[in-house]
Structure 1
Amino acid sequence: MMGRKLRAAANSTRRAWIALLWGSFAVAWLPSTAHADAEAGKAKAQVCVACHGPMGNSTSGDYPILAGQSARYIYLELKDFKEGRRSDPRMSPMAANLSKEDMQDLADYFAAQTLVSVPNKSDAASIEAGRKKAAEVLCTMCHLGGFAGQNEIPRVSGQQYPYIVKQLQDFRSHTRTNDAGNMTSVTRNLTDDDIRNLAAYINNLQ
């Protein structure tokens, strides 16, 4: 009886050690896999530099900053461009030939970069009005505190001021509709001044 208990305890201990070792091997593989994806994304992103800037830090208000953006959001936007749910004369042709792996690699690469924002020279009154409007329309319920974003909800803090204005206008006019109606609903009653104030506030968040 005692022998069976000892053997059972020994077997249990052996299984625990095997599980621990396999867990260690699995964890050990993670960094190399992530590194490979980042390197692949870096190479593929070279064509993006002309518009989105080195490492995704755009210096033009015509193009969004991608550095530090949610990887899931970038992937889904590329997929929408590819499949026609979102349209842009520059991005749609670029996304047309991307594979799922290409889009994942690019998303992982840009998400891993450090955002370098370009603050707009907005006056304090406009920024404060934007803060109040953001609180009024409950922006942080989706975009989180500091507009840091989450999963498929983009990070917009520090984003280019003209780009924020353009996207809010496009949502309001239904020119951009790949948002399941959420942003269309939020922007429906925004005035032009509201949009400019929101953009000033969000752009200046660091």
Structure 2
Amino acid sequence: MRAAAPLIMPVLAAVLALSVGPPANAQQATPPPPEIAENLQLCASCHGADGKPVVEKVPIISGQHMFYLFTQLKDYRAGRRANDIMAPIAAELSDDQMKALATYFAAQPWPNYSEVASPEDTERAHSLAVEGQCTQCHLGGMLGDSRNPRLNHQKVDYLAQTMSDFRNGVRKNAAAMAAIVKGFSDADIAAMSRYLAGL
């Protein structure tokens, strides 16, 4: 990792202060490469040592698709995706470090997380999914592929925030998503988030 710029050191220090140690999920079959061990400790402070995020509106990344994770890190570094914590962290990562981190997290098991969607949520979400053609990119079961993230059992607060950001023009690195959710109401987003988190 390149030397951290003075401007972002307070941010990194604040995140490290929350650190719960390096990932230690007993189910993990893939040990972390030594060259990213320090990075993983930082990741765990928000995304969780066991794969379950410990900070609100932070996504599950254990078990997510490798190329998608790699692309998001590059987007943070390039300014195509904004986040006060992730952008300065990604700015200090090389392409090789990003690939190593993405490969590591993609190899980990998806944590046990689920929400319960009401019948009303499910009905509304089905209607929105058909109209928005969600499965064309995220595939059956919303499990995604190398370029599109898994949404199945993703955290409900992260899903809601992400759809709101696309709708409101805050997130700009996926034009297709912005077009799909531009007509979603707050109630639509809430229902879809609970449905996806409970699949």
CA offset at residue 114 of structure 1?
0.7
SS at match of 2:111: coil
Residue matched to 2:178: 184
- Aligned residue for 1:195? 189
Q: Cα 1:40–1:151, aligned 2, differ >3 Å: closer, same or farther?
A: farther
2-structure distance, mates of 1:159, 1:61: 13
Specify the alignment match of 1:131 in structure 2.
126
Q: Contact 1:41–1:108 at 8 Å: present in 2 too? A: no
Q: Which residue does the alignment assign to 2:93?
A: 98
Where does the alignment leave 5 or more consecutive residues of structure 1 unmatched?
1-34
SS of residue paired to 2:171: coil
- The CA distance in 1 between the partners of 2:110 and 2:35, in whole Å, is 17
Distance 1:106 1:97 in 2: 13
Q: Distance in 1 between matches of 2:52 and 2:35?
A: 15
Partner of 2:149: 154
Cα deviation, residue 59, structure 1: 4.3
Residue equivalent to 1:58: 53
Listed one character per residue, the Cα deviations across residues 55-83 of structure 1 (whole Å, up to 9, x for unaligned) are: 53324442000011010000010001011
Alpha-carbon distance in 2 for matches of 1:177, 1:117: 30
| Contact persistence 1:65–1:160 (CA under 8 A) | yes
Residue by residue over 1:15-63, the C-alpha shift from the partner in whole angstroms, topping out at 9 and shown as x without a partner, is xxxxxxxxxxxxxxxxxxxx79x52476231210010012533244420
Which amino acid in the other structure matches residue 147 of structure 2? E
Cα deviation digits, residues 124-179 of structure 1 (max 9, x gap): 32133213321221100000001111111111111000100000000001100011
| Residues 200 and 96 of structure 1, relative CA distance in 2, 3 Å threshold | same
TM-score by length of 2: 0.79
Decide whether the 8 Å contact of 1:128 with 1:201 is kept in 2: no
Alignment of 1:40-55 (within 5 A): 40=34, 43=37, 44-55=39-50
d(CA) in 2 for partners of 1:127 and 1:59? 27
- Superposition misfits of 4+ residues, deviation over 6 angstroms: none
SS of alignment partner, residue 73 of structure 2? helix
- Cα distance in 2 for partners of 1:41, 1:186 equals 40
Cα 1:50/1:128, change in 2 over 3 Å? same
SS of residue matched to 2:148: coil
| Shift in alpha-carbon separation, 1:83–1:77, aligned structure 2, 3 A | same
Cα distance, 1:121 vs structure 2:
4.2
Q: Is the 8 A contact 2:76 2:90 kept in 1?
A: yes
What is the 5 A alignment of 1:65-104?
Answer: 65-104=60-99
Give the distance between the partners of 1:190 and 1:40, measured in 2 at CA: 44
Larger radius of gyration: 1
* Separation (CA, whole Å) in 1 of partners of 2:150 and 2:178: 18
Say whether the 8 Å CA contact 1:40–1:105 is kept in structure 2: no
Q: Between Structure 1 and Structure 2, how many residues are aligned? A: 169
Which protein has the bigger helix share?
1
